[in-house]
């Protein structure tokens, strides 16, 4: 299982999620040899972490939206990574 796919840092959330779904689909079939299953699992874990990091960053950006006294969004603040 040498083909690990594209570099994670270049993948969008959606692309990483699709790749993760493909890894899960392959593992669920039970037809992948053991060594390849281990490689797929490792790739899946990297994809999961990448997706989680992207979600965490998006959540932090959303939390930076400034709410007025009535609770409605009145602006935003810069998000600092």
Q: Give a yes or no: residue 57 inside a domain.
A: yes
Kindly indicate the confidence band of residue 2, based on its pLDDT and cuts at 50, 70 and 90.
very low
CA dihedral sign of residues 63, 68, 72, 76: negative
Token reading at 25 = 């689909």
Assigned domain for 2 exists: no
CATH at 33: 1.10.287
How does pLDDT run across 32-42, given as a tens digit for each residue?
Answer: 999 999 999 99
Closest CA relative to residue 9, chosen from 54, 45, 67: 54
For residue 44, pLDDT beyond 90:
yes
Question: What per-residue confidence (pLDDT) applies to 35?
Answer: 95
Compute the half-sphere exposure of residue 52: CA atoms within 13 Å on the CB side of its CA.
6
Domain contains 81 = no
pTM: 0.73
Quick check: is 4 in a domain?
A: no
Q: What is the rounded average pLDDT of the residues 59-75? A: 74
Out of 8-12, 38-42, 64-68, pick the least confident: 64-68
């Amino acid at each position: 299982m040498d083909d690990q796919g594209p570099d994670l840092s270049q993948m969008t959330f959606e692309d990483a999620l699709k790749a993760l779904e493909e890894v899960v689909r392959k593992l669920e079939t039970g037809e992948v040899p053991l060594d390849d299953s281990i490689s797929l699992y490792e790739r899946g874990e990297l994809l999961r972490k990448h997706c989680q990091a992207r979600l965490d960053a998006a959540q932090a950006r959303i939390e930076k939206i400034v709410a007025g006294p009535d609770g409605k969004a009145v602006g935003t603040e810069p998000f600092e990574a």
